[in-house]
């Protein structure tokens, strides 16, 4: 084992210094790829730590900070470029080598997946910043523009279909008949593929084609229902989106996937008029429970009764107050940075969607009840409003919502007491950094060899 690791250490050091494409790098790349392909206990964690050690050269950063501080007006742009180069860790060169033949993008994807899994289990938590660094690197190698959109059907390989069933993250696939139903003529499944990861979907979404936007997930997943006619459908509802590669998590493929799939649907079925989602609200119930005595006691009492959703009287009583709270939660409850608290809301609103409608008991499964009391939401992708909505969200986390949802939020009188911070204003780098020396010194103070 010692000899293997010594060879890898030498290979890493060489790759950090060689230019990508240098013929002398090929054997070093093969050494590391062979090591990662047949690891023994502890090898992957050790390799990740070696990559983590290939950080920035702090002495060079200090030198560039000094040069930038004393630069003339005409030299500042060049000095900023030099500082940017100094801030790039040495591992970046290694990663570029590993994703160039005879290397493979897969090795870096799998290394990040192993790192994320390890950190999630409470191991190697000091390497978490390396995971962010690997994500940034992979985002530059797997650009959205290079992705191929492909419609998946029942005629695809059994191996691919089995992978889809296993990776479905929102609504579990209950066997082959369930999967076949989701690929029927009135359904669509689209996935992104990348040339460097052939035959491996990166992310996929499932769509229902219906006369109107469904208000219940059971209406979509009902295997006993007769198939609809896609040729006369008016609504396309995205009801699930799942990542297939843990090592690529955090890279926003899903945003582009919905828009590209919408374009494909409009081209194939020009009669479609509504593009929307039927989405979960995963943090809603937890937030409501956290309000404690701020919630009406009669509401709390009924929610505490197991099976309340099967009691017609209890469900009727809870219908209005829970929908009002859900509207308030989606439109007004924020993180400290001003973004919506709900992760699914951040995804769709950041994509330019509108909070269109709340659906009562749309997901009465145990998971749906535990997460959101069964409430789901339709985010509408109105093509003519997407660009403006997306820009408004990026600038100030503005939330676009239908009049009906806004009315529900306004009717909620619970004294929630949430802080509503102003979204940070975007400033010019010259006004944000009037004293380049002090800014750079602070930056260096936050940096480390693991940056």
The string of pLDDT tens digits covering residues 378-425 is 999 999 999 999 999 999 999 999 999 999 999 998 887 654 444 444
Name, in order, each residue with C-beta under 8 angstroms of 367's C-beta and a sequence gap of 6 or more.
none
The string of pLDDT tens digits covering residues 27-57 is 999 999 999 999 998 999 999 999 999 999 8
What average pLDDT is seen over the chain? 90
Mean pLDDT over residues 317-346, rounded? 96
If pLDDT is split at 50, 70 and 90, which confidence band does 143 have? confident
pLDDT at 438: 47
The string of pLDDT tens digits covering residues 205-228 is 999 999 999 999 999 998 888 888
If pLDDT is split at 50, 70 and 90, which confidence band does 307 have? very high
pLDDT at 225: 84
If pLDDT is split at 50, 70 and 90, which confidence band does 442 have? very low
Domain layout of the chain by residue ranges: 2-55+90-141, 145-277, 284-411
Name, in order, each residue with C-beta under 8 angstroms of 451's C-beta and a sequence gap of 6 or more.
55, 56, 87, 89, 129, 133
The string of pLDDT tens digits covering residues 251-302 is 989 889 999 999 999 999 999 999 999 999 999 999 999 999 999 999 999 9
pLDDT at 434 over 70: no
pLDDT at 445: 47
pLDDT at 426 over 50: no
Percentage of the chain lying above the pLDDT 70 cut: 92
pLDDT at 417: 61
Q: 10 Å Cβ neighbour count for 255?
A: 16
pLDDT at 255: 85
pLDDT at 1: 60
pLDDT at 244 over 60: yes
188 or 254, which is more confident: 188
- Asked: is 284-411 a CATH 3.40.630.150 domain? The reply is yes
Q: Determine contact, residues 190/261, Cβ cutoff 8 Å.
A: yes
Percentage of the chain lying above the pLDDT 90 cut: 80
Class of the CATH-defined domain 145-277? alpha beta
Maximum distance among all alpha carbons in the chain?
76
CATH architecture designation of domain 2-55+90-141: Up-down Bundle (1.20)
Q: Pick left, alpha or beta for residue 352 (phi over 0 → left; psi -120 to 50 → alpha; otherwise beta).
A: left
Question: Which residue, among 154, 123, 142, has the nearest Cα to 44 in the 3D structure?
Answer: 123
What one-character-per-residue DSSP string does 145-206 give?
GGPEEEE--TTS-HHHHHHHHHH--SS---SHHHHHHHTSTTEEEEEEEBTTBTT--SEEEE
Mean pLDDT over residues 67-73, rounded? 92
pLDDT at 172 over 90: no
- HSE (side-chain half, CA atoms, 13 Å) at 121: 8
pLDDT at 6: 94
pLDDT at 425: 43
Residue 224 burial by Cβ neighbours in a 10 Å radius (0-12, 13-18, 19+): exposed
Q: Do domains 2-55+90-141 and 145-277 have the same CATH topology?
A: no
The token pair that represents 396 in the structure block? 């100030």
The token pair that represents 166 in the structure block? 């296993």
């Amino acid at each position: 084992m010692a000899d293997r690791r010594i060879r890898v250490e030498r290979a890493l050091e060489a790759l950090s210094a060689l230019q990508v494409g240098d013929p002398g790098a090929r054997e070093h790349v093969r050494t590391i790829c062979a090591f990662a392909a047949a690891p023994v206990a502890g090898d992957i964690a050790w390799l990740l730590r070696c990559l983590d050690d290939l950080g920035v050269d702090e002495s060079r950063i200090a030198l560039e900070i000094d040069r930038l501080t004393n630069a003339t007006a005409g030299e500042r742009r060049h000095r900023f470029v030099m500082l940017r180069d100094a801030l790039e860790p040495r591992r970046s060169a290694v990663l570029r080598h590993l994703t160039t033949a005879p290397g493979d993008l897969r090795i870096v994807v799998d290394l990040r997946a192993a790192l994320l899994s390890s950190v999630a289990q409470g191991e190697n938590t000091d390497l978490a910043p390396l995971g962010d660094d690997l994500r940034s690197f992979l985002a530059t190698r797997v650009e959205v523009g290079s992705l191929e959109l492909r419609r998946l059907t029942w005629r695809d390989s059994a191996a691919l279909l089995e992978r889809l069933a296993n990776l479905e993250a929102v609504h579990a696939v209950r066997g082959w008949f369930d999967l076949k139903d989701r690929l029927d003529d009135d359904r669509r499944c689209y996935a992104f593929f990348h040339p460097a990861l052939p035959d491996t979907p990166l992310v996929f979404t499932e769509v229902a084609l219906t006369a109107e936007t469904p208000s219940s997930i059971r209406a979509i997943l009902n295997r006993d229902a007769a198939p609809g006619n896609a040729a006369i459908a008016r609504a396309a509802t995205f009801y699930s989106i799942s990542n297939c590669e843990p090592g690529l998590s955090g890279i926003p493929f899903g945003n582009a996937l919905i828009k590209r799939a919408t374009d494909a649907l409009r081209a194939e079925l020009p009669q479609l008029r509504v593009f929307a989602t039927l989405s979960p609200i995963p943090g809603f119930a937890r937030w409501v429970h956290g309000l404690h005595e701020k919630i009406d006691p009669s509401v709390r009492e009924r929610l505490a009764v197991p099976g309340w959703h099967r009691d017609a009287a209890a469900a009727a009583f809870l219908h209005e107050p829970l929908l009002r709270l859900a509207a308030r939660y989606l439109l007004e409850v924020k993180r400290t940075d001003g973004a919506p608290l709900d992760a699914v809301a951040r995804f769709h609103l950041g994509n330019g969607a509108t909070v269109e409608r709340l659906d009562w008991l749309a997901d009465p499964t145990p998971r749906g009840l535990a997460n959101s009391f069964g409430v789901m939401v339709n985010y509408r992708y109105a093509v003519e409003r997407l660009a403006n909505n997306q820009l408004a969200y990026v600038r100030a986390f503005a939330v676009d919502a239908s009049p009906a949802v806004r009315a529900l939020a306004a009717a909620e009188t619970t004294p929630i007491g949430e802080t509503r911070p102003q979204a940070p204003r975007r400033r010019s780098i010259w006004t944000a950094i009037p004293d380049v020396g002090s800014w750079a010194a602070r930056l260096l103070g936050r940096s480390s060899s693991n940056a």
